[in-house]
Amino acid sequence: MSVRFLEEYGLFWLDTAHTSYVIKVVDEERFPGHVYYGKKIRPQDAGYLLRTEEPPFVPSRNNRERAAFYDQFPFEYGGNGVGDYRESAVAVEDENGCRATMPLFTGYEILPKKPGLPGLPATFDNDGGTLILHCGDAHLGLEVDLLFSVFEREDVIARSVIIRNAGERPLFLEKALSMSLDMDAADLELLTLHGGWGKERQIDVRPIGYGRQSVGSLRGETSHQEHPFLALKDRHADQNAGEVYGFQLVYSGNFLAQVEKSQMDSLRVVLGIHPEGFGWELAPGGEFYTPEALLTYSDQGLGGMSRAFHDVIRDHLIRSAYRDRVRPVLINNWEATYFDFNTDRLLSIAECAAKLGIEMLVMDDGWFGRREDDSTSLGDWTVNEEKLPGGLKHLVERVNALGLKFGIWIEPEMVSPDSDLYRAHPDWAIQVPGREPTRSRNQYVLDLTRQEVRDYAYGCVASVLRSANIEYVKWDMNRQLTDLGSVSLPGRRMGEFSHRYVLGVYEMQERLLRDFPDLLLENCSGGGARFDAGMLYYSPQIWCSDDTDAIERLKIQEGTALAYPLSAMGAHVSACPNHEVGRVTPFETRGYVALAGTFGYELDITGLSPEERDAIPGQVALYHRFAALIQQGDYYRIASCAENHEYDCYMVVSKDKKEALVTYVQVLARPNCRSRMIRLKGLDPDAVYLVERVERGETRLIGGDLLMEGGIALRSVPGDFRGQLLYLKADE
């Protein structure tokens, strides 16, 4: 068991393959303290790291300085209002309006597996056991269970909290974070992911100064702008070496991810549901489950952190039947036609695609109601038979007859003001009574906190799927939440709205997986605004960004891959000039970049040049040749065009180190230069590899040690945005 209580030292000791996490309960009042998290150490008396033998000492020894103790002690889950002025993890208001909470240790359990989190996405099948620290505040009648689940092989610890009103008085939760972690500041930097529409998950690194530095979302989803992830890294750490602590939240709504440097040069990291606007009524006997936080420590730089997160998400969070399958190569008609299509137009795309080896046609927005643009008909999920005579069944049968699967786009969380649904049920839209609701993309959001609204929205999705042989759904959400109000939540319980909305989305997608277990679901939110671990519990892939330009995607996919496996990233070859930035990129390079994802096409295939059209069968063959390796292999980042502005390079290595694929993109050509020497990563130094330059078909035998220590030369080629692939196979 990787979770132990070492009675001789009074320590709770959690081990993964390469890390240790240590907790100690101190003093007569039983304060749960964080002792250590980092590189694996052998069990020993590490409790001195808490510094309780220094002033201000523990309260039983120096009660006159209790507040100073509270404000310095490294709590596993800090309370509020009693003297710890750092960011609290939990805040509770009692019936008198008082706010003071201090969870103290009351007992523990060690379980062989981790329990689930009702209504929430969560990791499963951990191999290292689960520690539950039972804590509580006797004055409030509050119970707080801290859960620590160990994924030994993956070097990941999953944390969550169960908060329970065990008293006889009502309580009101004002904050319930998923984790808090205190550590010495050391020489660390903060790494976060920021962005906007079309430029999601850009890497940002900055020094950690005194006070609180955070990212978060109040948009009702994790957002384009910020991301529920942060890393603390040694100032000298890079992709391959140095200490990194990684944290991410398995959640899809408002969040706070924050680090705080205190007066005593300690750091407190907190992660969880954003407390602004949040409130939750806890009646006697009531429980609240926080979303799960994933923690990892790496002494192998950012790459070690990424590979740990990739493994735990791929093997212990994604549940789809497609998790380990090679996914079909699809073509989506959006950038080919936008709203201007009919059956004949779609069939012409399908016929051309089928001849070139593409395996699925996805019909995007515009197939329902009176939908000729984005101003109408969301909520009216009935086929527009003027566009599609004979309905979906007729179209799908025609597409299937060509040998293609069929997929469809739908946006079930939304409603247009100009729709039959809104005219019949205007109160089903999120709104503040008496206030004109804010439109975005000329649409409103359905109130998914209400069961009847969820049932209607889900019923629409299920009805569409049962009407024809539909094997893929792109579930979109094209605006964020405003005007938070619901007739289902009286008075001060309106603070529950945002979390209940997310729970409603989860419930609908859970029903979808249960009723259609073989469906390939791809989540989307105006591109990548809801790309998070919570959604990956329901869909094995998420549309990475609406910016499909291959060069912009290099930066977007680099940031995304810091936390998520490549198999989760929806990526397509799109038209040129690119519709978002106008850039012209070689068709070959667009294919190489899309390989680092789910791979598909988003363009008018019937209007391609003969040269581009003839390249598609080869690209599809490349995808099938390397898809399993990309899906299951270990990811190594070699160079970043976001940093050097000249070239990008990354590679994937099979778990047994017998295969590898290197992707190199020359972003800007250089004059009068020698070849660039690329040092590879993650190979078996004792193996000899047959190195194939894929675009040329040239091969050469080179030792793994030489490839990693000396490198391999990649020559500059004329022109910007030129890609190269190297495939390595161990010589048997």
Return left, alpha or beta for 277; rule: phi > 0 is left, psi -120 to 50 is alpha, else beta: left
| 290 CB-near residues (< 8 Å, 6+ apart) | 160, 161, 162, 163, 176, 177, 178, 272, 273
Mark whether 374 is an active-site residue. no
Distance CA 615, CA 431 (A): 50
Residue 2 class from Cβ within 10 Å (0-12 exposed, 13-18 middle, 19+ buried)? Answer: buried
CB atoms within 10 A of CB 552: 19
| Active-site choice (94, 145, 311, 476) | 476
| Strand spans (E) along 140-170 | 142-151, 156-165
Buried/exposed code over 274-298 (b: 16+ C-beta within 10 A; e: otherwise)? bbeebbbbbeeeeebbbbbbbbbbb
Distance CA 367, CA 383 (A): 6
Return left, alpha or beta for 645; rule: phi > 0 is left, psi -120 to 50 is alpha, else beta: left
Distance CA 648, CA 669 (A): 12
Distance CA 428, CA 585 (A): 45
Return left, alpha or beta for 483; rule: phi > 0 is left, psi -120 to 50 is alpha, else beta: left
Tokens for 314, please give them.
């791929």
Measured in residues, the chain has a length of: 732
- Per 3-state DSSP, the chain is made up of helix, strand and coil in percentages (nearest 5) of 25, 30, 45
DSSP state of 196: -
Interstrand relation of 414-415 and 444-445 (parallel, antiparallel or unpaired):
antiparallel
Distance CA 586, CA 576 (A): 9
Comparing C-alpha atoms, which of 334, 326, 380 is closest to residue 361? 334
Tokens for 214, please give them.
């955070």
Q: Where are the alpha helices (DSSP H) in 449-549?
A: 451-466, 497-515, 533-536
Distance CA 342, CA 360 (A): 17
| Active-site choice (94, 311, 532, 546) | 546
| 161 CB-near residues (< 8 Å, 6+ apart) | 77, 89, 90, 144, 145, 146, 147, 176, 177, 178, 179, 289, 290
| 609 CB-near residues (< 8 Å, 6+ apart) | none
Hey, CA dihedral for 177, 179, 181, 185, is it positive or negative? negative
Distance CA 729, CA 731 (A): 6
Comparing C-alpha atoms, which of 183, 159, 163, 185 is closest to residue 175? 163
Q: How far is CA 457 from CA 184, 350, 713, in A?
A: 49, 29, 55
Return left, alpha or beta for 682; rule: phi > 0 is left, psi -120 to 50 is alpha, else beta: left
Contact 295, 245 (CB under 8 A): yes
| 63 CB-near residues (< 8 Å, 6+ apart) | none
Question: What one-letter code names the amino acid at 527?
Answer: G
Mark whether 546 is an active-site residue. yes
Catalytic residues: 476, 546
